[in-house]
Each structure stands twice: as structure tokens, then as C-alpha cells.
């Protein structure tokens, strides 16, 4: 038996019942290097276990999101995307032509956000930044 994936370990630590199909879905999500939507997760999981239904994937992803194990994103392509929730903060730059999602961290942006919240008498407790762009014409 293989060692539990990161997401599976979080589920176990939070007392969730881990069926074989949930373990497969957790492993697929843990191993994802992109930001898959439910259809992507279903395709990957069903290659491992052909008995997994799309409904099971939807229920499991919703459970993981409600348990703060997954973060849900809307990158403007009409489909919710998911990634493992972590303590390390990052923002996203989305190429609207290719769909590529680049994760980045920029301390200048972080400092500006703190400065703005302080100007309005608040303390920054969280934010999400998603930048949308297109590749510059390389022929220029």
C-alpha cells in the first residue's frame, strides 16, 4: 500500500471517512501540478479506478473545499479550478489565450495591499489576486 497523499493525510487528520474512491481523488489532486477542474480530476481518477463517477468527484471536491483542504478559483474560463490550500500565499497570472496559470509572489504587491488597508484603518487579513493577460506579440 502506498503512503497517503498530502490531501489524504489532511482528510484523515480531520477525521474524514476515506473510501478507496476518495483516496484516489485525493491522490489525483495532490499530484496535480496544474489547477484542474472537476472534469480534469474525473478523467485522471477514472484512469486509476474506472468505477469512479463524476458525481463522486463533485461530492468529494465540494467536501474538500468546505473543509478548507482545497481552494476554489474562477480563472474566467467558465469552470471552477482547484488547488490544495496551503499556508504559503501566492497570486495567479492567467494567460487567457492558452489557459496557462502562473503562480507568483511579489513583495511589492503585498506591501501595497498592506499600505492601502492601513490607509483605510484596517488590517489586511487576506486577499486573492488574479491577473489576466495575453502573450505579447514576439514579432515586434
- φ, ψ at 43 (rounded to 5°): -60, -45
Contacts of 127 (CB under 8 A, 6+ apart): 113
Looking at the fold, whether 97 and 80 belong to one and the same domain comes out as no
Looking at the fold, whether 12 and 68 belong to one and the same domain comes out as yes
- Decide if 72 is inside a domain: yes
- Decide if 79 is inside a domain: yes
Which residue spans within 10-129 are E strands per DSSP?
Answer: 70-74, 80-84, 91-95, 101-104
Q: What is the pLDDT of residues 95-138, one digit of tens each?
A: 888 888 888 889 999 899 999 999 999 998 888 888 999 988 75
CATH number at residue 55: 1.10.10.10
The least confident of 23-32, 57-66, 72-81 is 72-81
The count of domains in the chain is 2
| Distance of alpha carbon 55 from alpha carbon 43, whole angstroms | 13
Contacts of 76 (CB under 8 A, 6+ apart): 94, 96, 132
Contact 54, 42 (CB under 8 A): yes
- Decide if 24 is inside a domain: yes
Looking at the fold, whether 95 and 46 belong to one and the same domain comes out as no
Kindly report the pTM of this predicted structure. Answer: 0.74
User: Domain span at residue 21?
Assistant: 6-84
Amino acid at each position: 500500500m502506498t503512503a497517503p497523499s498530502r490531501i489524504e493525510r489532511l482528510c484523515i487528520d480531520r477525521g474524514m471517512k476515506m473510501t478507496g474512491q476518495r483516496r484516489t481523488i485525493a491522490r489525483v489532486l495532490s499530484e496535480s501540478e496544474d489547477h484542474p477542474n472537476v472534469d480534469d480530476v474525473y478523467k485522471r481518477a477514472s484512469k486509476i479506478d474506472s468505477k469512479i463517477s463524476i458525481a463522486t468527484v463533485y461530492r468529494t471536491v465540494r467536501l474538500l473545499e468546505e473543509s478548507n483542504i482545497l481552494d476554489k478559483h474562477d480563472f474566467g474560463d467558465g469552470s471552477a479550478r482547484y488547488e490544495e490550500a496551503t499556508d504559503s500565499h501566492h497570486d495567479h497570472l492567467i494567460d487567457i489565450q492558452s489557459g496557462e496559470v502562473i503562480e507568483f509572489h511579489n513583495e511589492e504587491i503585498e506591501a501595497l495591499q498592506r499600505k492601502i488597508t492601513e490607509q483605510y484603518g484596517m488590517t489586511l487579513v487576506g486577499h486573492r489576486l488574479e491577473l489576466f493577460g495575453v502573450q505579447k506579440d514576439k514579432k515586434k
